[in-house]
A = this chain, B = another copy of it.
Amino acid sequence: MPRSLDRHSVNTATLGYQMPIGETVDAIARAGFGGIAPWRREVEGGDVDVIARRIRDAGLRVSGYCRSTYIPGTSRAAWAANVDDNRRALRDAARLGAECFVLVVGGLPEGSRDMPGARRQVQDGVADLLAEATTLGVPLALEPLHPMYAADRACVNTIRQALDLCTLLDPARTSHLGIAIDVYHTWWDPELPEAITRAGREGRILAYHVNDWLVPTGDLLMDRGLPGEGVIDLESIGALVRDAGYRGLTEVEVFSHRVWKHPPDRILADCVASIVQGPPTYLQNVR
């Protein structure tokens, strides 16, 4: 992917939620990025229109709004409440001008071992939300999560599975349902080239997230690397995504206790370095 900063977006999780959203917007714009992906925890309870204006005034696009409430529930009522919650969040996504609403769909309901059942609940929930998304004009981006999150975060775990769900629920390819490709979740997939090519051919790529896989990985959730620090072949995957026709922003999304120890401006400087200069300075973690 092109290395110019204005083609990149910063997911606010990367900065560890250390500042109010207004300051975060300004810091990301000041660092030279072209977009932001805020989280609901930073937006809900605030004045969404004020936040949206601050983002616009800073000259930033909103590459995605993070993220859905997990869909599966222990009862039909719980499921319906989760879907309703997402419907409300979708309206905020529209007010923010988000280019997509990121669906991290959820895993097994508490006490359950029924993966097919969880996946059916997801299918039904996304079908419901698609109607609202179409009305609002905010595309839904199904994000396949790494299989190590299948139990507790997302039972959609491969690009192929996400695309099959898109085909099922939106056969006409209305542009309101697609996927978010995150290298952390998908880099290992032996079918990655075919899957990305198919995603492009079917017009489904709504977002592209970068970060890195560290060896060793000390924690399932909070030990991602900045792009270039780990073993993911970002050049090749970026080329696949570009060749598949994706022209949106490349979003830097890193969850890391190690990174979050630094102040936001330092983290942003490290993100800039990892994008502009490439991997060399970050290789200390690769065995």
Contacts and interface: CB of A to CB of B under 8 A. Distances in A.
A119 B152 contact: no
Q: Is the interface of A mostly helix, strand, loop or mixed?
A: loop
A233 interface: yes
Contacts of A188: 115, 147-148, 150-151, 155, 157
A114 interface: yes
B151 A148 contact: no
A189 interface: yes
A110 B283 CA distance: 12
B233 A114 contact: yes
Given A114-B233, A115-B188, A157-B190, 19 more contacts: A108-B215, A108-B231, A110-B287, A111-B286, A113-B231, A113-B232, A115-B187, A146-B147, A147-B188, A148-B217, A150-B187, A151-B188, A151-B213, A151-B215, A151-B231, A155-B188, A157-B189, A158-B190, A217-B220
Interface string A136-158: 00000000001110111001111
A281 interface: no
Interface size bracket, A side? 35 or more
Contacts of A110: 287
Contacts of A157: 188-190
Interface string A183-209: 000011111000000000000000000
